[in-house]
Chain A
Amino acid sequence: MTEKNLHGENEGDLWEVFVQSETGAPHEHAGSVHAADAEMALQNARDVYARRGTPVSIWVVPSQYITATTPADAQPFFDPADDKVYRHPQFYKIPKAVKGF
């Protein structure tokens, strides 16, 4: 947590912020904050991203711990999801006489 980057900043000090804006809603990525530790990250996240509305919950994660897909690999990585027609309801034939399926 104390390695410094080229600009003398601590590597661990960038956090991604996810806010649940109302009960039942998913947490949504709101942006990022700088903070020396998790408690300060939560407080900064509240001050920056929760000044309006009725926020229910905030998650903060050090940015370095997020693993993400890369745009260059997106097509092959997601390829299997799009061409299996049998995953879609329209593929299946239901007799017209059956109502409200």
Chain B
Amino acid sequence: MTQTAARAFPPRRFTATRISQAIDGEVRAPGGSGTVEGVHRHAVNIRWRTGLLTVAHESMGGLPNGIAVDPPIALDQIGIVPGVRVESDGATLRVPAASVAVLLVGAASWSPTMPVLRGLAAGTRIERAELALALAADQAPRVGLGPLTAGLAGHRASIGSLGRAAARSLAEVLEALWHGRLERAASAASPLIGLGPGATPSGDDLLVGLAAGLAVTDHPLAGAFAAGVARDAAGLTTSVAESYLHHAGRLEFSERVQTAALAILTGPEAELRDAVSAALAWGATSGVDLLVGLLVGIQAGVAPRLGERLRACAGDGEVAA
């Protein structure tokens, strides 16, 4: 199998442009090795000794566990298959079976830590989140948590079972956070772990978004809540989703999530609109799932009506304006 791949595909050489600070040390340490776990068009997931690493096209932006590379050759077309070995000598990451090399020297070190916006007025947070929700409700796909955006925007909508489950958990999480009950918040979030279709199930994306919303608005329980969810997620979801939750537990997020959060909270309206449209285009349903979590998270503790709306969505699923 290995020899076949090596014969069929020419050698490829990529240059790492950015490496997340969260994994920089381990990936640039000589003698490290891992195994390819999943191969996609724009990303390859590698099981490393310390966790999951992702080698991804620069166009995907910074990932908390990621190495961004150039040129943007389709990574699922160059002979890398699950199970093959990956090695690092500190300067180069190699997949010998596919004759692929990623030059690490010269790559910039990128911080996945979510910037914190302190002192934002409650009214601003609600107003900006409501506007983003209204835009998302108009544009969101009718898959994943897309239908829930309509319900949260106050439209009459059929939410679906996934949306109802998400709304129920989110309402309980918000209430628990309001009362400062950390354990109860984490326990209310646990039904969402691994819930829904896809390589990163919708429930996990939602929780990453929620943690991001709490982190960027400097919620006092953001770190503890996210860390609790990450601990609970171990072994209960796919390894990719688990990795994102693990980093969210350290308040580390992808560049896309960081950019969206900042644009929604502080950017001019045109930037907010662009951020919503861009977020909805991520992956199959991940974008809308993350966005719902983010918009709920940035309103946590300041928008009592949001809890009511979530409970309405969690009910019969038919939400009236």
Partners in one complex: no
Contact residues of A with B, CB < 8 Å? none
